[in-house]
Amino acid sequence: MTFIEDLASFAAAADAVDMDAADREALKVRILDAVGCALGALGADVPVKVRRAVDGLDGGRGACTLVGGGHAAPDHAALHNGALVRFLDFNDAYLAPGETCHPSDDLAAVLAAAEHTRADGRDLLAGLAVAYQVQCRLADEAPVRARGFDHAVHSAYAAAAGASRAMALDEERTADAVAMAATALNALRVTRTGVLSEWKGLAAPMAAAAALQAVYLAAEGVTGPREAVEGTGGFRDAIAGPFAIDWASERLDAVGATIVKKHNAEIHSQSAIEALLELRARHRFRGGEVASIRLRTFQVAYDIIGGGREGDKKRVRTKEEADHSLPYLLAVAALDGEVSPAQYQAKRILRDDVQSLLRRVEVVADDDLSGRFPRAMPARLEVRLRSGEVLEAARDDYPGFGTDPMDRVGAEAKFRRLAGKLGRGGQDAAIEAVWGLEDEGAEGLLARLTVPAVAAP
**Contact yes or no for 332/367 (Cβ under 8 A):** no
Strands of 379-385's sheet in order across: 361-365, 290-297, 379-385, 390-395
Where does the pLDDT of residue 322 fall: very low under 50, low under 70, confident under 90, or very high at 90 and above? very high
- Write the pLDDT tens digit of every residue in 343-352: 999 999 999 9
Does 163 have pLDDT greater than 80? yes
Does 393 have pLDDT greater than 70? yes
**Contact yes or no for 94/259 (Cβ under 8 A):** yes
Of 342, 105, 65, 302, residue with least CA distance to 200: 105
pLDDT-above-90 percentage for the chain:
96
**Contact yes or no for 142/235 (Cβ under 8 A):** yes
User: Which residues make up the CATH 1.10.4100.10 domain(s) of the chain?
Assistant: 3-257
Residues 6+ apart with CB under 8 A from 56: none
Does 63 have pLDDT greater than 90? yes
Q: Residue 452: is it exposed, middle or buried by C-beta count within 10 angstroms (0-12/13-18/19+)?
A: exposed
Does 170 have pLDDT greater than 90? yes
Integer Cα distance of 457 and 447 in angstroms: 18
pLDDT at 76: 98
- Give the mean pLDDT of 99-116: 98
Measured distance between the N- and C-terminal CA atoms of the chain, rounded to whole angstroms: 47
- Give the mean pLDDT of 86-104: 97
- Rounded to two decimals, what is the model's pTM? 0.96
What's the whole-number average pLDDT of the chain?
Answer: 96
Which residues face 43 on adjacent strands? none
pLDDT at 308: 87
Does 457 have pLDDT greater than 60? no
pLDDT at 452: 64
Where does the pLDDT of residue 456 fall: very low under 50, low under 70, confident under 90, or very high at 90 and above? very low
Instruction: Tell me how far the alpha carbon of residue 237 is from its chain's centroid.
Output: 27
Integer Cα distance of 197 and 360 in angstroms: 25
As its CATH architecture, domain 267-395 has 2-Layer Sandwich (3.30)
Where does the pLDDT of residue 194 fall: very low under 50, low under 70, confident under 90, or very high at 90 and above? confident
Where does the pLDDT of residue 311 fall: very low under 50, low under 70, confident under 90, or very high at 90 and above? confident
Which residues face 100 on adjacent strands? 95
What is the sign, positive or negative, of the torsion defined by CA atoms of 277, 279, 285, 287?
Answer: negative
**Contact yes or no for 42/84 (Cβ under 8 A):** yes
The per-residue DSSP string of 315-355 comes to ---SHHHHTT-HHHHHHHHHHHS--SGGGGSHHHHT-HHHH
CATH 1.10.4100.10 matches 3-257: yes
Residues listed for the chain: 457
SS3 29: helix
pLDDT at 380: 98
Does 399 have pLDDT greater than 70? yes
pLDDT at 366: 97
Does 56 have pLDDT greater than 70? yes
- Write the pLDDT tens digit of every residue in 232-286: 999 999 999 999 999 999 999 999 999 999 999 999 999 999 999 999 999 999 9
- Give the mean pLDDT of 310-336: 95
Range with the lowest mean pLDDT among 121-135, 211-225, 403-417, 440-454?
A: 440-454
User: Which residues make up the CATH 3.30.1330.120 domain(s) of the chain?
Assistant: 267-395
Does 48 have pLDDT greater than 70? yes
